[in-house]
Amino acid sequence: MRRTLVVAAAMLMAVVSLRALTPAVYSPTDALTPDEYWTIYRVLRDSGHTDEKTLFPSILLHEPDKAYVLAWKPGEPIERKADVVLYEDGHSYSASVDIAHKKLLDYQELKGEQAPFTSTEEHAFDDIIKHDPRVMAALKKRGITDLNLVYCYTSAAGYVGLKEQDGRRIGWGGCMYTDGMTHPMDREIGGIFTVEDMGAKKVLRVTDYGAVPVPANSSIYDNDGGPALPGTKPIVISQPGGPSFTIKDGEVSWQNWHFRYRFDPRTGPTIQQVSLEDNGKRRSVLYEGSLSEMFVPYQDTEETWNSHVFLDAGEYFMDTGLGMIKPLYPGIDCPDYATFLSATFYKESGQPFQRPQVACIFERTAGDPSWRHMDDDGTIYGRPGRELVFRTVAVVGNYDYIMDWRFEQEGAMKIAVGATGVLEVKPVKELKYTDEHVGDFTGKDENGKPLEFGHLIAPGLDGVDHDHFFSFRLDLDVDGTKNTFMDDKLVQYKLPVTTGRKTIWAMQPTMPATEGEAKMNIDLSHPEMWRFANTSVKNSLGYPTSFEIMPGETGVSLLAADDWPQMRGGYSAHELWVTPYDPNERYAAGVYVPGSKATDGLPTWTKKNRNIMDTDIVAWYTMGFHHVPRPEDWPQMPTMWHEVTIRPFDFYDKSPLMDLPMQP
């Protein structure tokens, strides 16, 4: 009896001290807490809409409208709602839950639209595929009889207009043979292609494109057991006084920057209410910025591989257990002096869980001057620079994407994506490339000129060509919500014949009036500067204050416009889109992506051709790159970085770097 009491007291203390660490809601845009997830779960269960078999592919905070968020003051009650997508036996349902009032606001079965894929759903097929007689026959034809070493899978299929897709939830699959395996990524059994009806849990079709030997195992994570590269002497970095940033009630403050963040299960790190302190006043820069979609179409002549068309954020964010925000490894993914942040997510069964160290935040100095000048008299002036990095890592199957938001002292933000991880590889007959351009991965164009499909990255392993197109939704609010998109064109200007020069270039300011006019493509012969300006707020020189979106290396899709993958990932046709703010427009390829026929998303919305002048507007930046794999990308890809910079332009009256300290 006594003993029980003691335990109860200890538990009470534990609860109290845990409460301080428990995720809390400080602002209407903060992430869902464990308590809130439980409320959502109970409301849905108690309303009779879920049972033991129900899957929860999507539980997302329903962000309140911007006007509400901006008007809301700390201490006031907070409106909290969640959008939920449920899946059971081939049926998808949407639900809306009022968390504060523990109330189901809406519930309906989705018709024509489908829930995101879950790991549970996909793995339900492993054995069904393997034991399909057609698959067994194909395995046997290849001399594979030890079914214990065969692993078959299915993956979400992107809609491509095949008859078998009509009205169904379809998966596409294949098998791997793990005999002799050290790592599964190169164990595909070539030529076997399966089509599954995910709802009916049935294999619809098995196509055998012909046997290809399972290649020799080449996957080695490590240095073949050899010692690490010798002679590397340590670089020791520390912050003995701690970091210079603070995190209070979910807000990060560093130098002149303030921002909030939410770890959103679908879009990953979502940066909010970013402002710059200027003469004691907080000036708004970005209401919200996050990834909006990822489009990764593979490029191969064979259906086994050109079916790999992923819209990862919308289709797969739950597939490998919240792929968008994965744990970090201190000392590898972030410096070990970084501050690590935890987050709350949910399982496919609808139950919340917490993960530690899913994000890190750290200052770093590269040893570069933020500015410097040497005068004619030889005197050198300058200041060393540093930056603040807010980092997460998304892992979507084979690929790892390091996602950085970098805050610069000059008032710029950089979004950087570092792609690493393991290539997707296809077994081919060739162990070596021959100059004659023959083999599984070579061909000819209509003029008889040679073409190469993919690239050998190890004997018998073709690194399949593919693209990455990230869409970043950037709800810039420069000095307020009403902004105008400025497209400043640099144009040749013919000088009158008074001097020796015939031409100069000048800047031609234009303001696209509608979203239809604001589908931007980069042309290096006709350079443009893209800015979000507030025409009602002027800097001391009379210019509208603005932020410029400066692309880094990027690219657009090469697929035909009427090809289904391209229609579904249609945002990849332009590097920049500008739309008026609409709280329902958050995902560049639409809300419900699996099986979608491109009826939602940027190409659809912008057909309305709405006004984008002097109103609340949103930028959608496409960061794209094409990848012809190299042997150097195997067995692990060296991290390849791409970035976009958003920097002040006429926002300040002068450089904000002049008061930096002399220490980096």
Q: Which of residues 623-642 bind a copy of itself (CB under 8 A)?
A: 626, 628, 630-639
Q: Contact with a copy of itself (CB under 8 A): which of 112, 180, 356, 459?
A: 459
Contact 531, 549 (CB under 8 A): yes
- Does 523 help bind a copy of itself (rule: CB under 8 A)? yes
- Does 440 help bind a copy of itself (rule: CB under 8 A)? no
Nearer to a copy of itself, 90 or 321 (CB): 321
- Does 165 help bind a copy of itself (rule: CB under 8 A)? yes
- Does 456 help bind a copy of itself (rule: CB under 8 A)? yes
- Interface residues for a copy of itself in 351-390 (CB under 8 A)? 362-374, 376, 378, 380-386, 389
Nearer to a copy of itself, 51 or 659 (CB): 659
How open is the CA angle 377-381-387, to the nearest 5 degrees?
160
C-beta of 11: minimal distance to a copy of itself in Å?
30
Q: Contact with a copy of itself (CB under 8 A): which of 243, 284, 482, 614?
A: 243
Q: Contact with a copy of itself (CB under 8 A): which of 236, 248, 281, 584?
A: 236
Nearer to a copy of itself, 131 or 372 (CB): 372
- Interface residues for a copy of itself in 7-46 (CB under 8 A)? none
Nearer to a copy of itself, 129 or 195 (CB): 195
- Does 221 help bind a copy of itself (rule: CB under 8 A)? yes
- Does 231 help bind a copy of itself (rule: CB under 8 A)? yes
| Pair of tokens at residue 112 | 């024509």
How many of the other CB atoms lie within 10 Å of CB of 96?
Answer: 15
- Does 450 help bind a copy of itself (rule: CB under 8 A)? yes
Calpha distance 552→307 (Å, rounded): 30
Calpha distance 14→343 (Å, rounded): 20
- Does 217 help bind a copy of itself (rule: CB under 8 A)? no
CA 311, 316, 322, 326: dihedral to nearest 10 degrees?
A: -50
Count interface residues toward a copy of itself (CB under 8 A).
176
Nearer to a copy of itself, 386 or 473 (CB): 386
Calpha distance 184→635 (Å, rounded): 12
- Does 433 help bind a copy of itself (rule: CB under 8 A)? yes
Q: Contact with a copy of itself (CB under 8 A): which of 1, 18, 21, 541?
A: 541
Which x/- pattern over 280-309 shows residues binding a copy of itself (rule: CB under 8 A)? -------------------xxx-x--xx-x
- Does 331 help bind a copy of itself (rule: CB under 8 A)? yes
Amino acid at 424: E
Nearer to a copy of itself, 96 or 284 (CB): 284
- Interface residues for a copy of itself in 563-602 (CB under 8 A)? 563-566, 575
Strand-pairing partners, residue 458, are 461
Burial class (CB in 10 A: 0-12, 13-18, 19+), 50: buried
Please give the C-alpha separations between residue 495 and each of 291, 435, 510, 525, in angstroms, as whole numbers.
Answer: 45, 53, 22, 20
Burial class (CB in 10 A: 0-12, 13-18, 19+), 54: middle
Q: Of all helices (H) and strands (E), which one includes residue 106? A: strand 103-109
- Does 108 help bind a copy of itself (rule: CB under 8 A)? no
C-beta of 162: minimal distance to a copy of itself in Å?
5
On the CB side of 315, how many CA atoms lie within 13 Å of its CA? 26
Please give the C-alpha separations between residue 13 and each of 5, 9, 186, 554, in angstroms, as whole numbers.
Answer: 13, 6, 52, 54
- Does 551 help bind a copy of itself (rule: CB under 8 A)? yes
Q: Contact with a copy of itself (CB under 8 A): which of 74, 242, 280, 448?
A: 242
Cα of 491 vs its chain's centroid, Å = 35
C-beta of 246: minimal distance to a copy of itself in Å?
9
- Does 349 help bind a copy of itself (rule: CB under 8 A)? no
Nearer to a copy of itself, 135 or 457 (CB): 457
How many of the other CB atoms lie within 10 Å of CB of 165?
Answer: 19
Which of 601-608's residues contact partners 24+ apart within 8 Å by CB, and which partners? 601/293, 601/568, 601/570, 601/571, 602/471, 602/570, 602/571, 602/577, 603/567, 603/570, 603/571, 603/573, 605/515, 605/579, 606/515, 606/516, 606/519, 606/577, 606/579, 607/516, 608/515
**Among the residue ranges 110-118, 451-459, 588-596, 602-610, the one whose residues contact a copy of itself (CB under 8 A):** 451-459
**Among the residue ranges 79-87, 136-144, 286-294, 450-458, the one whose residues contact a copy of itself (CB under 8 A):** 450-458
How open is the CA angle 547-544-278, to the nearest 5 degrees?
65
Cα of 351 vs its chain's centroid, Å = 24
Calpha distance 515→622 (Å, rounded): 16
Please give the C-alpha separations between residue 45 and each of 102, 104, 349, in angstroms, as whole numbers.
Answer: 12, 10, 12
C-beta of 589: minimal distance to a copy of itself in Å?
17
Q: Contact with a copy of itself (CB under 8 A): which of 420, 512, 513, 613?
A: 420
Nearer to a copy of itself, 420 or 514 (CB): 420
Q: Contact with a copy of itself (CB under 8 A): which of 143, 210, 356, 509?
A: 509
**Among the residue ranges 48-56, 128-136, 471-479, 645-653, the one whose residues contact a copy of itself (CB under 8 A):** 645-653
Task: Write the DSSP assignment of 349-363 as a string of letters.
Answer: TS-EEEEEEEEEEEE
